[in-house]
């Protein structure tokens, strides 16, 4: 999924003639804390609610002030993973998108990113989850997939996490069935540590809520 497929159709861009209060009102409506300032098709930068409060003159046009603005952006063809990385690195609630000519095309909201992450992670598909933990040297995608398939399961999605100071990996598998007992036993027989597994609707709801909450906190939304 590319940035051009994620652009919001509702979040507006500010003009330099707009007041700080207008910006704050829009931020409240869309539950964001950043908005782009655009002159025709030229992206001038992002302004935050903190920037506006610092001006202490919300009824004046924002163009009346000398602003030092961040100018982060992604291009139309960048992958969703790159968009997420930029949002997380700079703690952005919107990510501007520019075309190949450097013209402003819109923004991607962090909330929309989270919803798309849920979709491509197959969170809305029926099935259970197994979380494996292993040393980096023991990771084998081929073997992990083979074990699932040997138990008549299909991996719908998979993601890997690891702490920077750790040599261990956590591999989360979304599978197409809630009957995980046989697969769990096989993974353990092959030496994988089954750190967690969830199969009931209540357990899955809690698991997804925990993971999405972690992502939201990480992106500081």
pLDDT tens-digit readout, 155-202: 998 888 777 777 889 898 999 998 999 999 999 999 999 988 888 766
The pLDDT value given to residue 123: 66
Distances (CA, A) of 156 to 19, 72, 74, 100, 144: 48, 33, 28, 34, 13
| pLDDT of res. 35 | 96
Distance between CA atoms of 26 and 151, rounded to whole angstroms?
52
CA distance 115 to 215: 11
- The CATH 3.10.580.10 portion of the chain extends over 3-118
pLDDT digits (tens, 9 = 90+) for 199-221: 876 665 666 666 656 665 555 44
What is the number of other CB atoms lying within 10 angstroms of the CB of residue 172? 18
More confident residue, 93 or 202: 93
Q: How far is CA 201 from its chain centroid?
A: 23
Residue 4 DSSP label = G
Res 161: pLDDT: 79
The CATH class that applies to domain 121-219 reads: alpha beta
pLDDT 10s digits, 94-129: 999 999 999 999 999 988 887 777 666 666 678 888
Report residue 100 as tokens.
Answer: 């190949």
Tell whether the model's pLDDT for residue 33 goes beyond 90.
yes
**What is the pTM (predicted TM-score) of this model?**
0.68
For 60-85, the pLDDT digits (tens) are 999 888 877 889 999 999 988 889 88
The pLDDT assigned to 73 comes to 96
The 3-state DSSP class for residue 217 equals helix
Does domain 3-118 sit in CATH 3.10.580.10? yes
Tell me how far apart the terminal alpha carbons of the chain are, to the nearest angstrom: 22
pLDDT-derived band at 18, boundaries 50, 70, 90: very high
- Structural tokens at position 121: 């992670």
- Alpha helices by DSSP H, listed for 74-200, are 80-90, 110-120, 141-150, 181-189
The residue among 135, 142, 143, 138 whose CA lies nearest residue 162 is 135
77 exposed, middle or buried (CB, 10 Å; 0-12, 13-18, 19+)?
Answer: exposed
Please list the residue range(s) of the chain that carry CATH number 3.30.70.260. Answer: 121-219
Q: Which residue has tokens 């969703």?
A: 80
Bridge partners (DSSP) of residue 134 are 169
- Alpha-carbon Rg for the chain in angstroms: 22
In the prediction, which pLDDT does 218 show? 53
- Contacts of residue 89, Cβ cutoff 8 Å, sequence gap at least 6: none
By the 8 A CB rule, do 159 and 190 touch? no
């Amino acid at each position: 999924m590319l940035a051009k497929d994620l652009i919001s159709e509702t979040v507006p861009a500010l003009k330099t003639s707009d007041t700080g209060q207008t910006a704050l009102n829009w931020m409240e409506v869309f539950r964001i804390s950043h908005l782009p300032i655009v002159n025709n098709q030229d992206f001038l930068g992002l302004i935050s609610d903190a920037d506006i409060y610092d001006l202490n003159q919300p009824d004046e046009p924002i163009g009346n002030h000398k602003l030092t603005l961040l100018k982060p952006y992604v291009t139309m063809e960048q992958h969703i993973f790159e968009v997420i990385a930029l949002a997380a690195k700079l703690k952005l609630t919107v990510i501007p998108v520019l075309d190949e000519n450097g013209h402003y095309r819109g923004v991607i909201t962090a909330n929309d990113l989270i919803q798309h992450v849920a979709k491509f992670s197959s969170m809305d598909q029926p099935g259970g989850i197994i979380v494996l933990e292993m040393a980096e040297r023991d990771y084998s995608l081929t073997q992990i997939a083979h074990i699932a398939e040997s138990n008549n399961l299909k991996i719908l999605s998979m993601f890997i996490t690891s702490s920077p100071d750790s040599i261990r990996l956590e591999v989360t598998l979304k599978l197409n069935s809630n009957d995980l007992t046989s697969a769990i036993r096989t993974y353990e027989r092959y030496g994988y540590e089954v750190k967690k597994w969830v199969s009931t609707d209540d357990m899955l709801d809690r698991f997804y809520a925990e993971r999405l909450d972690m992502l939201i906190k990480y992106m500081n939304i």
